[in-house]
């Protein structure tokens, strides 16, 4: 997804027969949207009467969320590029033993990279859930549902990205790499569910009393 691409163009390209952008890119985009919503709630809190005590906290959220929004926007393209690297490695010649060895090495390197990119998206999604929790607890109450949506989008970003990690792990032959990343996947998935659940309970209580 280039900076010049419109939302309509991105959706059309996603809907096409082309394999990218796919779930990984969409997960990254969900994370970028979550970061943007978190920024919005912080912006709606700063300067608001009665919220002077949370000024420093909201300004910190603004800085962090802005950086993650930009990072995740770039990850939309990075995920597609990582997939293309795997496809390029798959097309390498494998007639001779040397070619087979070279291709296998290239495939494993590409697969590991294709796992690392969405793993980073998942970590960022988890960080945004935490920031959404902060703006829900200490931000403008009139924007509390926006904070809830931010958390849900961030959870989707994290969980969607983790599926992309796992599909690549299935083809990676380095047991140490697979074990380490699988452990990270399990931890991030558990935290994403639990932290979102906690946040949404708080939002429900605030809305329904």
* pLDDT tens column, 115-127: 999 999 999 999 9
**Which residues have CB under 8 Å from 75's CB, separation 6+?**
25, 28, 31, 32, 117, 120, 121, 124
- The full set of domain ranges for the chain reads 20-208
pLDDT band at 67 (very low <50, low <70, confident <90, very high): very high
Taking Cα atoms as reference points, which of 150, 153, 118 lies closest to residue 25? 118
Quick check: 4 pLDDT over 90? no
DSSP 71-138: HHHHHHHHHHHHHHHHHHHHTS--SSHHHHHHHHHHHHHHHHHHHHHHHHHHHHHHHHHHHHHHHHHH
Q: What is the pLDDT of residue 3?
A: 64
Report pTM.
0.95
pLDDT at 5: 81
Pick the CATH number of 20-208 from 2.40.50.1070, 1.10.3720.10, 1.20.120.680, 1.10.287.110: 1.20.120.680
Phi-psi group of 13: left, alpha or beta (phi > 0 → left; psi -120 to 50 → alpha; rest → beta): alpha
């Amino acid at each position: 997804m280039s900076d010049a691409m419109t939302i309509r163009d991105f959706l059309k390209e996603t809907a096409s027969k082309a394999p990218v952008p796919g779930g990984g890119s969409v997960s990254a985009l969900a994370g970028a949207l979550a970061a943007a919503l978190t920024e919005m709630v912080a912006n709606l809190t700063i300067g608001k009467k009665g919220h002077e005590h949370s000024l420093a906290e909201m300004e910190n959220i603004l800085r962090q969320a802005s950086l993650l929004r930009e990072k995740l926007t770039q990850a939309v393209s990075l995920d597609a590029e990582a997939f293309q690297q795997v496809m390029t490695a798959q097309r390498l010649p494998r007639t001779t033993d040397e070619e087979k060895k070279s291709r296998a090495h290239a495939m494993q390197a590409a697969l590991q990279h294709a796992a690392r990119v969405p793993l980073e998206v998942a970590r960022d999604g988890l960080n945004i859930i935490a920031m959404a929790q902060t703006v829900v607890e200490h931000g403008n109450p009139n924007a509390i549902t926006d904070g809830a949506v931010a958390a849900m989008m961030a959870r989707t970003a994290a969980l969607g990205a983790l599926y992309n990690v796992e599909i690549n792990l299935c083809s990676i032959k380095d047991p140490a790499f697979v074990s380490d990343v699988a452990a990270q996947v399990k931890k991030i998935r558990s935290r994403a569910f639990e932290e979102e659940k906690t946040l949404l309970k708080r939002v429900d209580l605030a809305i329904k009393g």
